[in-house]
Amino acid sequence: MASAACCAAGPPVACDYTPKGTISKIGDVDTYFVGSGPKALVVVYDIFGFSPQLKQVCDMFAAAGFNVAMPDFCKGNPWPLENFPPKDRSELGAWFGTTGKWETSIRPTFIPAVAHMKEHRGAEVVGVTGFCWGGMIAMKAASLDPDAEGGVKAGGTVHPAMLSAELAQDVKVPVLIMPSGEDPDHLPVKEVLDKKPFGDKCQYRRFDDMHHGFCAARGDWANAVQATRAAEAIDAFVKFYTANL
């Protein structure tokens, strides 16, 4: 089910940006690649798929020294821009239960992406970053065995959707959680993570003056305040992954 903040935030914002990376395949999945090095990030976009904003985020991660892959998890079937916010939320719920479902759709793409980064792009350790719906997916990925195929060593999300204490129960690695002012209180999630052996490595920051989606496809970075907050979120990600990967 879509979160209220997700639907209330409105449609994506046009962004004039020329990406620095390239798109090639992991198996049959188009993937945006940028950067190099031993520390890799697999980026999970929001429901709108590839956007100039998130390609720019990937480029910023790469400029900070990370080896980045953003697969097309929706395989060319993101939620259509012209149908957001949806008049009938049940349609979006059906999308989450099919195209956007971790177990049957996203996980079979995510695990090969992690393996690809290690086998073909020189990564020694991999983390995951997710935006909006992708934040929930990032927490699912952070719940995999970190030492198994497809496992990650750290996870992070900004303005996550569908985050819950129940979801946090299974998390196995340190995570960074950065809700917007429109997102639910993250303290129930923090209470769960605080009890884990790595709880002191988890980090949290609220962007109370920002709307849900400000760091992804809904981000209007021509707005100086939004651009500043997005840069602050990226900086927090970079510091967190530098310390935990």
Helices 107-120 & 133-141, crossing angle to 10 degrees?
60
Least confident of 61-75, 195-209, 222-236: 222-236
Which candidate, 114, 157, 112, 122, places its Cα nearest to that of 136?
Answer: 157
Q: Cβ contacts of residue 231 below 8 Å, gap of 6+?
A: none
Superfamily of domain 4-244: Alpha/Beta hydrolase fold, catalytic domain (3.40.50.1820)
pLDDT at 219 over 90: no
Where residue 238 falls among pLDDT bands split at 50, 70, 90?
A: very high
**pLDDT (tens digit per residue) in 124-141:** 999 999 999 999 999 999
**pLDDT (tens digit per residue) in 140-192:** 999 999 999 999 999 999 999 999 999 999 999 999 999 999 998 999 999 99
Can you tell me the distance from the alpha carbon of 55 to that of 72, in angstroms, rounded to the nearest whole number?
Answer: 12
pLDDT at 4 over 80: no
Where residue 15 falls among pLDDT bands split at 50, 70, 90?
A: low
Can you tell me the distance from the alpha carbon of 49 to that of 36, in angstroms, rounded to the nearest whole number?
Answer: 23
**Whole-number pLDDT of residue 151:** 98
Alpha helices in the chain (DSSP H): 4-8, 52-63, 89-96, 107-120, 133-141, 165-168, 187-194, 224-244
